Amino acid sequence: MFYIISQKSGRIHREPSRRSWESNLYKSASAAKAGITRTIKYYQAAIDEVAEVVAQGKPEFHARRYNAFRDATDSALGRTHCFDRDNYEVVAVEDYVEPQVTRTGIAPGTGKEITVTMGINEVGGCTDPLTETYWSM
Co-location of 30 and 71 in the same domain? yes
pLDDT score, position 87: 86
Co-location of 31 and 81 in the same domain? yes
pLDDT score, position 137: 65
Co-location of 108 and 90 in the same domain? no
Kindly give the confidence (pLDDT) of every residue in the chain, 137 residues in length, as a single tens digit, with 9 standing for 90 and above. Answer: 999 998 888 888 888 888 878 888 999 999 999 999 999 999 999 999 999 999 999 998 899 899 888 888 887 877 777 787 888 999 999 998 888 999 998 988 888 899 999 988 888 888 888 888 888 86
Give the chain's domain count.
2
pLDDT score, position 52: 94
Among 89, 92, 64, 67, which residue's Cα sits nearest to residue 77? 67
| Residue pair 21/38 in contact by the 8 Å Cβ criterion | no
CB atoms near residue 130 (< 10 Å): 19
Co-location of 77 and 34 in the same domain? yes
CA distance 52 to 89: 31
Co-location of 117 and 64 in the same domain? no
What domain range is 61 assigned to? 2-95
